[in-house]
Amino acid sequence: MEKDIREDIAWAQINKDVLKSLESPRRLYWVILLIALAMIGVAVGSEIYQYTTGMGVSNKNNSHVWSLYIATFIFWIGMSHSGTLLSAILHLMHADWRKPIYRFAEAMTTFSLMTAGLFVMVHLGRLWQVYYVMPYPNERWVWPNFQSPLVWDMFAIATYLSSSVLFLYVGMIPDLAICRDNIHAGWRKKLYTIMSLGWEGTDRQWRNFRITYLTIACFLIPLAVSVHSIVASDFAMSNMPGWHVTSFPPYFVAGALYSGCAAIITLFIILRYVFRFEEYMTLPIMKKLVRLTFAIAMVWTYLNLIEFASVWYGHDQTAKDQLIFKATGPYAPYFWAMIFFGSILPLMLAFKRFQTHLPILFVVSILLNVGMWLERWMIISPSFAHGHYPWTWDHDQWPSLVQWGIVFGSFGWFTLLFMVFCKVFPSVSMYEVKEMVYHRTLALKHKPAVKGDY
Amino acid sequence: MSITNLLTNWSDFRQQHPSAAHPHREYKWAMSIDLDSCTGCNACSVACYAENNLPVVGKEKFAHGHSHHWMRIERYWDNDGREFADQGAQFLPMLCQHCESAPCETVCPVGATNHTADGLNSQVYNRCVGSRYCNANCPYKVRYFNWYNYPTTENVWPEPMNQQLNPDLSVRSKGVMEKCTFCVQRLRASMNDARTQGRLVIDGEVQTACQQVCPTGAITFGNLVDPSAKVGKQWKQQQVDLNIDKQPKDAEEKAAKLRGYRILEELRTYPSVMYLEQLRESAV
């Protein structure tokens, strides 16, 4: 069996390679950063316009009250699940191939949650009153409505965000100490000194570290599953045709892992190229990642089919009409694009020759996420366009440029956060990669003097 | 609720109607609309605009679906075999159904929409954060969002038109959901009057704006608890019960005799508005 990474890399070499990614960026970095900032500028401009003029500029209307903001919100929440999958679930399963790639996946989790959180606010008609959703002591004892899935959402996202930040940070402490020891002056030295919490690598510290890391991992897994189940409840708990589906929570969780894995493939290829991480982000690891993505894609496809089948054979004529509308009406091109990108295209990943073909994987992984974004949109909009009440059917509603601008800008915001992270913190876990080569290092150390002495 | 109680009585609990747990003792405001009398003249809609400070949003915004007609006249066509197309027009005045088990109430994250003791589905403008979940979950789509800031930036009531605003209720600003209130300001005024005189509101003492202006008297409004109220008599006559979701009319043999029905009853929303079916020419 081929090894995930070359096992004769020296520990010092690992430090050197990874720390190199923290050095002054090349010009391309600044160019991309500027583009990301420009994208954020578009979104901020759109939001300011929407904030001052009113929600009407987003071109939603009275029967079609939710649109791209909620769709993109689910998309970003979904993206955040892959980090937990790779770090926590695979950590518990001792799948060592996760080690070189989980750090950036976890960062992705945190940053996509931060992006998703913004969409909740952008969506609100009275953004300035957003704190009403939180239970806070007030003189009139007015509480949020605990029956509402949106309140559950608020709790779920807040908990998930805080714990995934904690998980990311705790997992980074030994690496931060390496950074601290290798940098001798400047703000970085101060930052790493504070953040590494006096890490010296003693046995006691390692033991506490392991226990802490494992505890948070165990805490995070049910949390991640519940977060997307709760997001699914926003729809499953309502009575809209096309939303009122019992299988939504597992379907959403599968979709979340799916789009997250696809995003990891994309970022894997970018980081491997940009930081020259060929030694760590290797093709055997990519192969495993691609197979995982393929498996999840098939689970997602299965749950999708189940959803259609249960609507089709169900007794609810309105939901059935809505499904037919989705597949044949004005949304048909997007619906079938979603089926193609989400279910047909990933079949490619089953073939060995594509599993390590990086340029193809790069394009495919982006297209998979396009498909997953379309899926979220196809959950939201067609239900409003063709709901219970025929008089309010609106088949022509199209999101305005303000909505598209904010959605577009969110990708810039995510890119910005991620790029800053990659330059400030090590995006490959040094200490865990060292664990992967540890046995080999030991063996080399005790190499017998005479050949064949074993 | 203990766990054993929950397990043994779960199905009872599921079947329980909200007003069985909290029965309406003094008031339950309800309406009936006779579609046979409705001529589709839109007077009710106009009266609603005047009474409830609804912004007239203009042609362009109306076309975008940003209108605020709490009371709207829906027009449907049944032209089969008619000599003149216009004969086939049918009208349905649609307003908030004040569901006893309202889907909008459970989903509001901040509890801005609630059920009152007298059976209204209330909307607290000051509490609303504008998540629009209530509209998403409303099967009738009778909730209207303030997509723009109509009183100020849109200036829909330029001087001196602001003088005609109804002082009994607020003017809503942007980002707030609103909907038909059954003219709650009128209800509260007459209920307070009655209370100071130590009695209940008499049938006919209070009218909603739409009912008041309807030239054919198609709209009846009143207290369903009051046995002498006209609306209660109509409900009884049509054998429509507030607390059930399948009425006798749904049985085929009675369908020809009974005219009363409630819209989308199968969703178990228990609406407070009963419609009287239009008499078909074939039935006359």
Find, in chain A, the residue whose alpha carbon is nearest to that of B62.
A61
Say how far apart CA A441 and CA A435 lie, in whole Å: 10
Contact list, B111 vs chain A (CB under 8 Å): 142-145, 148
Q: What is the pLDDT of residue A452?
A: 53
Of the candidates A433, A116, A99, which has an alpha carbon nearest to the alpha carbon of residue A259? A116
Residues of chain B contacting A, Cβ within 8 Å: 61, 64-67, 74, 76, 92, 94, 103, 106-111, 127-133, 135-137, 139-141, 143-149, 153, 174-177, 264, 267
Domain membership of residue A5 (yes or no) is no
Domain membership of residue A429 (yes or no) is yes
List Cβ<8 Å contacts ≥24 apart for B195-204: B200/B26, B200/B27, B200/B226, B201/B27, B203/B228, B203/B229, B203/B230, B203/B231, B204/B230
Q: Is A123 on the interface with B (CB under 8 A)?
A: yes
Give chain B's end-to-end CA distance (angstroms, integer).
54
Q: Is A242 on the interface with B (CB under 8 A)?
A: no
CA B180 to chain centre: 6
Find, in chain A, the residue whose alpha carbon is nearest to that of B70.
A62
CA distances from A195 to A52, A182, A258 (A): 40, 15, 33
Chain B: closest CA distance from residue A106 (Å): 30
**CB–CB contact A55 B64 (8 Å):** no
**CB–CB contact A126 B130 (8 Å):** yes
Tell me the pLDDT tens digit for each residue of A382-433: 999 998 998 988 888 889 999 999 999 999 999 999 999 988 898 888 888 8
A62, A63, A150 member nearest B109 (Cβ): A150
Domain membership of residue A453 (yes or no) is no
Domain that residue A433 falls in = 11-444
**CB–CB contact B108 A148 (8 Å):** yes
Find, in chain B, the residue whose alpha carbon is nearest to that of A386.
B139
Q: What is the pLDDT of residue B103?
A: 92
Q: List the single best residue of A132, A321, A386 to mutate versus B (max B Cβ within 10 A).
A: A132
Q: Sign of torsion, CA B93 B155 B169 B173? A: positive
Averages of pLDDT over runs of 10 residues in chain B (284 residues) are 73 69 86 92 94 92 91 88 78 93 92 91 93 93 93 90 92 93 95 94 93 95 92 92 85 79 90 88 54
Q: What is the pLDDT of residue A454?
A: 45
Say how far apart CA B124 and CA B184 lie, in whole Å: 12
Domain membership of residue A51 (yes or no) is yes
Domain membership of residue A310 (yes or no) is yes
Task: Give how many domains chain A has, as a whole number.
Answer: 1
Of the candidates A251, A253, A269, which has an alpha carbon nearest to the alpha carbon of residue A364? A269
Find, in chain A, the residue whose alpha carbon is nearest to that of B266.
A316
Find, in chain A, the residue whose alpha carbon is nearest to that of B265.
A388
Beta bridge partners of B260: B276
**CB–CB contact A394 B94 (8 Å):** no
**CB–CB contact A125 B141 (8 Å):** no
**CB–CB contact B133 A123 (8 Å):** no
Q: List the single best residue of A52, A53, A62 to mutate versus B (max B Cβ within 10 A).
A: A62
Which residue is associated with the tokens 């589905």? B121
CA distances from B138 to A240, B31, B133, B279 (A): 8, 19, 9, 29
Q: Is A238 on the interface with B (CB under 8 A)?
A: yes
Q: Is A149 on the interface with B (CB under 8 A)?
A: yes
Q: Is A395 on the interface with B (CB under 8 A)?
A: no
Residue ranges of domains in chain B, CATH in brackets: 21-276 (3.30.70.20)
**CB–CB contact B106 A56 (8 Å):** no
Task: Evaluate whether A150 touches B107 at the Cβ level (below 8 Å).
Answer: yes
Q: What is the pLDDT of residue A429?
A: 86
Domain membership of residue A2 (yes or no) is no
Identify the CATH number of the domain in which residue A41 sits: 1.20.1630.10
Q: What is the pLDDT of residue B253?
A: 75
Q: Find the DSSP H helices in A81-148.
A: 81-84, 90-92, 102-123
Contact list, B156 vs chain A (CB under 8 Å): none
Contact list, A63 vs chain B (CB under 8 Å): 65, 135, 141
3-state helix, strand, coil in chain A (%, to 5): 75, 0, 25
Say how far apart CA B284 and CA B282 lie, in whole Å: 6
Q: What is the pLDDT of residue A152?
A: 93
Which residue is associated with the tokens 């601008």? A405
**CB–CB contact A63 B141 (8 Å):** yes
Chain B: closest CA distance from residue A416 (Å): 28
Q: What is the pLDDT of residue A281?
A: 85
B111, B145, B153 member nearest A65 (Cβ): B145
Q: What is the pLDDT of residue A76?
A: 93
A129, A143, A148 member nearest B133 (Cβ): A148
Q: Please identify every stretch of chain A with a pLDDT value under 50, giving residue numbers as ranges.
A: 453-454
